[in-house]
Amino acid sequence: MVADPSPTTWSDRFEQGLHPAIERFNASIGFDIALLQEDLDGSVAHARMLGRCGVISEPEAERLIEGLEAIRSEAAAGRFTPGLEAEDVHFAVERRLIELLGPLGKKLHTGRSRNDQVGTDLRLWLRRRIDAIDAALVRFERALLVRAEAHPDTLIPGYTHLQRAQPVCLAHHLLAYVEMAERDRQRLADVRRRVNICPLGAAALAGTPVPIDRRQTAAELGFEAIYANSLDAVSDRDFAVETMAALSLVMAHLSRLAEEVILWASEEFGFVGLTDRCATGSSLMPQKKNPDVPELVRGKSGRVFGHLMGLLTMIKGLPLAYNKDFQEDKEALFDGVRTCLDCLEAMAVLFEEGLDFRPARLEAAVAADYSNATDVADYLVARGVPFREAYQLVGGLVKACLLEQRLLADLPLERWQQLHPAFEADIHAAIAPRQVVAARRSEGGTGFERVAEQLALARQRLDRTP
């Protein structure tokens, strides 16, 4: 159709083009093209609103929308590939629209600025990605839950300070990560409420004399509310920081689990074996099977934390309202979201089919330490001995056993009774690992019945989740 694009983007105030190095330096098209769909969605809503409000005629609005949809089709066919001269995705779309529609295309930007536009695009983009991360968290939780359900009475050493502390149910251990993931989902849902507020119509910073209807565009784009203050609307990036903070915690949780899997897969622990689906070999050592997947997850957590610091530092000194510094928010968000999605998927696959727990090794581990010492003390407490006194007595007993190189379970009844007359023949049963675990019936504890309750609750919750 009519081809009448302006030779440069700027007004006639400018006489010279940008220095090529500065053109490259200034441009964000290389990465913000990722916002194309959202930019088109925002512009379609804006054009329709301009028509309804009588700022442009309804047929003009219709033609603008058709032009925008034509650009969407071109992009789908791989035929929309703006270069550096477009500077950013917003200009790229507007230029193409003017190429397609002629002078009418120049009406789209009425009552709008790239400042409110980019904020709108980013929020639309983030809203979708938060939903994708939520779905990825659910898949990850399901993978953990299926494993937990497969091991309702497998035991695993429980640690504090990475020293054997007390045995726990393997399911209980895995469910702890399900709890973390649930909190991550709640946190993201909360952040999403603040992402879902529309800045469009704040224009450059002060609002606009054009008789627009901000609520119409906000409603059409599915936003829950509009920003109350135009200055705040174009300069708020709290939602980006909050999202990155929430993603950082997701990554911290994944990284902790990754670290455990790495330990568990070592020869020293031997609690899990890695399947060929998720492990890698060494280019040199033929015997090696390496846990690259959890190592990468652990390593990638650093980039997301880095983006959080980057965003905070980027906003901290900015006067109101828009500053170009904000252009830096995009790569952080894009990379943070992609990293988090990739890691959630990788950890879900790892638990779905990348590892096998080794019940025999786990069984042997919990039977071969002093992690039942607290239960000996609790045994005496149940028979009227004050806890601190029992604690001291058992400490002495453990010391003696260490010297004799025997376990508490191997001590004959006479030894127990020498230590304290309250011991009876049932002491051996009381300190068997399975009994030690079963006895921890306090709410939230690792006792089998408690864990069964938690498994059922998690199952119910996940079955109800789409």
Contacting residues toward ligand ARG, per CB under 6 A: 28, 32, 88, 114-115, 118, 322, 324, 326-327, 330
What is residue 290's DSSP assignment? B
At closest approach, how far in Å is the CB of 71 from ligand ARG? 18
C-alpha pair distances (Å), 348 with each of 35, 147, 266, 342: 28, 11, 20, 10
At closest approach, how far in Å is the CB of 323 from ligand ARG? 9
Q: Which of 161, 172, 173, 283 is catalytic?
A: 161
CB-nearer residue toward ligand ARG: 107 or 112 = 112
CB-nearer residue toward ligand ARG: 112 or 330 = 330
Token code pair at residue 48: 């329709």
At closest approach, how far in Å is the CB of 200 from ligand ARG? 13
At closest approach, how far in Å is the CB of 49 from ligand ARG? 20
The question of whether 151 is a catalytic residue gets the answer no
CB-nearer residue toward ligand ARG: 29 or 297 = 29
CB-nearer residue toward ligand ARG: 94 or 242 = 94
CB-nearer residue toward ligand ARG: 35 or 380 = 35
CA geometry: angle 248, 253, 258, nearest 5 deg: 120
C-alpha pair distances (Å), 250 with each of 57, 66, 241, 243: 48, 41, 14, 11
Q: Which of 57, 73, 266, 282 is catalytic?
A: 282
CB-nearer residue toward ligand ARG: 27 or 376 = 27
Cis peptide before 439 (omega within 30 of 0): no
Token code pair at residue 379: 């045994």
251 and 343 in contact (C-beta within 8 Å)? Answer: yes
99 and 5 in contact (C-beta within 8 Å)? Answer: yes
At closest approach, how far in Å is the CB of 145 from ligand ARG? 41
Q: Which residues have C-beta within 8 Å of that of residue 186, sequence separation ≥ 6?
A: none
338 three-class SS:
helix
At closest approach, how far in Å is the CB of 326 from ligand ARG? 5
The question of whether 46 is a catalytic residue gets the answer no
In angstroms, rounded to a whole number, what is the distance separating the alpha carbons of residues 320 and 229? 12
C-alpha pair distances (Å), 60 with each of 64, 99, 140: 6, 16, 48
In angstroms, rounded to a whole number, what is the distance separating the alpha carbons of residues 276 and 259? 19
As annotated, the active-site residues are 161, 282
